[in-house]
A and B are shown apart, each in its own frame.
Chain A
């Protein structure tokens, strides 16, 4: 009994000690940005070199572009993925000739105009896969960056059109309101739009890797 009491006291002391350490750390170090947050453009203002600032801004943008909410429907293969774990879409569905699925089983067979939470099926008025030329799955940030800017692959969008697309397209914006059971894309649409604008304003430079 006595031994047990001693052991309890020791573990309580240990717990208190660890708690104290964590508290000290929290008071002295800046809290790290959680994966679900985005840094705004102003937090890159300290990078004097314009090109380096632009690259840093794109790296922040990349947190959104490489998130499961975006990559799942920008697949490198014929098959989209689903869930935060990015598993292959179930049932088996394919891109089809225009990104809307196979004849007889298009995206719209299951995906309606809006999320249906009780059925666990997300939705949007134009639910579809991104074109194969905009596949992001498995790509480096450098490759994604070059792809996004390339008007021969991005649907002929110049920078203004690209920013309009990512700030107003309902399927892009769905990434931040995906419904229960799916982690939203990091930050907010407004933060994402501001980062895109700042990236464009600094010359839209791409990372080296």
Chain B
């Protein structure tokens, strides 16, 4: 199998590939030695560079009071290759069978084409490392900003931005509780691929009932003045999962329900999808663009 056609799924990339001819593909081996044929390549979507208004994850303090998360305008300068679908039960099982991943907390009879759930951030990273070895390309979890960029109109973020009445700390807790309030109805099980449809960028099942791990760590940020930082304390033991709302989860947690706080609505299911770092071909294409005077691209954040 050859991943080239999938890598170059965007129209611009296809044009570039035509211009570059086949010699380069032959010159750059896409796979290491070994039986990689057993791993079907994941279908990816190429998200064009763009700008998004991104509510920064984490807790923000000013003058010792919780304040609303800053919303920053972010430019993602490089194209983003992201899996069209969440990693499936069947794909994850291959990693388990290879001895590179721990079994997910799933019923043994879970259908292979369901999104894998019951996986921790640690499990997701182990899968990314194994999958990178299998494909000879670098796969990793998206950052929260990359996820938001790919999610487009499906992006939700925190249901409560952290703002509250300065004189009444309880007002913030009450606001968040009401924002995340639930009817107590049972969570639906993970749904077959495609149940929640594609967004405007062609990425499928975003913000359905499977939350997706990102690489972004929890931060507590002290702001001074209008937008100045600050002291930042990063806790990478807690990572951000995005989905129907943003969740801050201990990275070893597999069951979303058990990882939330004492109150507030936790994720229903935890899964993930990966992004692929630009390969030699794409890096060459970027360079080519610069050399030929086409629009220069900045590296992704």
B is a partner of A: no
